[in-house]
A and B are shown apart, each in its own frame.
Chain A
Amino acid sequence: MYNKTVMEHFRNPRNVGVIEDADGIGEVGNPLCGDMMTIYLKIKNEHIEDIKFQTFGCGSAIAVSSMITEIAKGKSLADAKKITNKDVAEALEGLPKNKLHCSNLGADALQLAIQNYEDKMAGVTRPDPVRKEKLEHSHGEKCYCPYCDIEIQPGITFCDACQSSLEDEH
């Protein structure tokens, strides 16, 4: 199901844990979609000096978390802001299609953590600045078929592209 790179990161995840005095924290996901991810940043001279993660989720979610910390560590904030979920999936040499939109949240968590740091620096406070508690996946307002990854209209019960039923099981 998963390729060797994904399994290697799943078995030996890098940078697991919490940074107690983190400069930025980003959390994404909710148990409804299955995965929750928290990224902790330590920033020095506008560079990511240290990064750690905590993840509740499947094999790909843990591998994604591990990979994003590897990619981001040591990068300048300007460079880190350019990292996308797609970059993470490519670094992992691919993820199963149906996992792309629920588990591939690493870059989203990173961007939220950077924003959290920048907000703090600018003295901005947001009501619940780091956690996205939306029912839909955190990819803007768009919906995607979980089976074939094609953009679909919200609320439809059948994917025209791959013929999958999108109804609830009841």
Chain B
Amino acid sequence: MKMINLDHISSKPLLPEIKKAIIAAIEKNYHNPSSQHKSGEEAAEALQRARGAVAALLNCKTPQEVVFTSGGTESVNHALKGAAMANEDKGRHIITSNIEHNAVIRSLRRLKSAGFAVTSLPVDSGGRVNPKDVAEAITKDTILVSIMHSNNETGTIQPIEEIGKITREKKVIFHCDAVDSVGVAPIDVQKLGVDLLSFASNTFYGPAGVGGLYIRRGTRIFPLLDGGVQENNKRAGTENLVGIIGCGKAAELALRDMDKRLKHLRTLKNKLLTELPHWIDEYIINTHPEFSLPNLVSISIKYIEGESVMLMLDDENIAVSTRSACATGSLRASHVLMSLGLSHADAQGTLVISFGIDNTEEDIDTFFKALKKVVNTLRDISPLYRKEPNSQNMHRSPVDGR
């Protein structure tokens, strides 16, 4: 039976047009883009076309501001470690938030052990950083601010534009981890005022293992990988041209179809949020009602545990993701959900539902039916659930306060 993928944050299908471009690139058997003969130049042109497509998607001033990498994780590592090391003569203080991805958290932990000081800012109950906190945290020693565009667990979008104005005024480098946003929501590096911005091709239906870092011209940054002069001396190593061509095609389609995709995804998200109360009660929506991705909803369902829900939905042929501590391998409650002020028990019942352009409204209906069944089954087993009839839905959104 067909699986319904409501776990697009983990993996998106490769679109037919992109697959075709990748297969054509394999069949073409490109030479090395660094070689100066005709075969090499042909490869270099294909590389530049892909760079141009990504630069257009991000609204870069020149395609040279795009550096291709092996994906979001490498881009983030490059941005943070490269900018910190290149600017340590100016200062050794870095500012971030409490809800960043592990790529940021662990890169900064590494920098901390190398002698950098890190300030991590809290978020409000809606999951957002207050730009004023950023302004207040900046000292003479601050060289870098790193705040994510959208959170991978809640989909909540940060006030990047406001923070960008502050970092520009204070002349501090601003990195934005936009791995879950680029190609999904409109991203304009000029408008956001960022100096560095990380992205991944598989977020916008391209192949995994390819991504990139936007580096505003004039930003001081060292390469993460030292070696040859590829990528304008910013990322050594022979390019993954097949993957990059796939990424370029994906960027081209994301830009072309952005409005159409947004409309479809918003319809699905709206349907999920408005009809969910008809199916289950007593849950918390962790996704910001206004500032959030069009394709992701985080729900904490009370009295039950997320991994069990995920496994039972899997039996109903529906793929979702959970942020329950039991399912993450670390066996710890998600730092993002804890930052929102959720209790441990509520955090345990957290599902992340993420849509793609391949989902339909019927998929959501199927999900509702299955979810209701699973929630009832698990609540029947749960010692936390009391069977008194609940006259009202207890679901709340972050703005209602909790």
Contact = CB atoms under 8 A, between A and B. Distances in A.
Interface of A: 7, 10-11, 13, 16-17, 27, 30-38, 53-59, 61-62, 98-99, 102-103, 146, 168-170
A34 B40 CA distance: 56
Given A56-B303, A58-B324, A31 B383 contact: no
Interface in B336-367: 343-345, 348
B308 A31 contact: no
Given A34-B324, A59-B307, A168-B335, 14 more contacts: A10-B308, A11-B312, A17-B380, A31-B343, A34-B305, A34-B331, A53-B381, A55-B382, A56-B303, A58-B305, A98-B331, A102-B326, A103-B326, A169-B102
A169 B384 contact: no
Nearest to B344: A31
The listed residue with most A CB atoms (<10 A of its CB), out of B120, B305, B315, is: B305
A22 to B, nearest CB: 13
A58 B308 contact: yes
B326 A36 contact: no
Given A56-B305, A98-B331, A169-B105, A35 B383 contact: no
B171 interface: no
Nearest to B310: A59
Contacts of A38: 383
B304 interface: yes
Contact of B98 (A36, A55, A102, A170): A170
B332 A168 contact: yes
A58 B335 contact: no
A146 B343 CA distance: 22
B311 interface: yes
A58 B98 contact: no
Contact of B331 (A7, A55, A61, A146): A146
A96 to B, nearest CB: 10
Nearest to A37: B383
B332 A57 contact: no
A11 B315 contact: yes
A55 B304 CA distance: 9
Contacts of B344: 30-32
A10 B311 contact: yes
Nearest to A53: B381
16 contacts: A10-B311, A16-B380, A31-B348, A33-B325, A34-B305, A34-B325, A35-B305, A36-B384, A55-B382, A56-B305, A56-B384, A57-B308, A59-B308, A98-B331, A99-B326, A169-B330
Interface in B49-95: none
A56 B326 contact: no
A140 to B, nearest CB: 19
A21 to B, nearest CB: 17
Contacts of A33: 325, 331
B381 A13 contact: yes
A13 B382 CA distance: 12
> Which 9 pairs of residues, A with B, have the shortest CB-CB distance?
A31-B345, A58-B326, A54-B383, A58-B307, A31-B344, A169-B335, A38-B383, A34-B326, A56-B382
A7 B307 CA distance: 13
A156 B276 CA distance: 44
A14 B335 CA distance: 35
B327 interface: yes
Given A34-B348, A170-B98, A170-B335, A56 B325 contact: no
Given A56-B303, A56-B305, A58-B308, A102 B382 contact: no
Contacts of B381: 13, 16, 53-56, 62
A6 B388 CA distance: 31
A83 B279 CA distance: 41
B329 interface: yes
Given A31-B343, A34-B324, A170-B335, A54 B305 contact: no
A25 to B, nearest CB: 10
B311 A98 contact: no
A10 to B, nearest CB: 7
Contacts of B120: 170
Interface string B310-326: 01100100000000111
Nearest to A98: B331
Interface string B365-402: 00000000000000011111000000000000000000
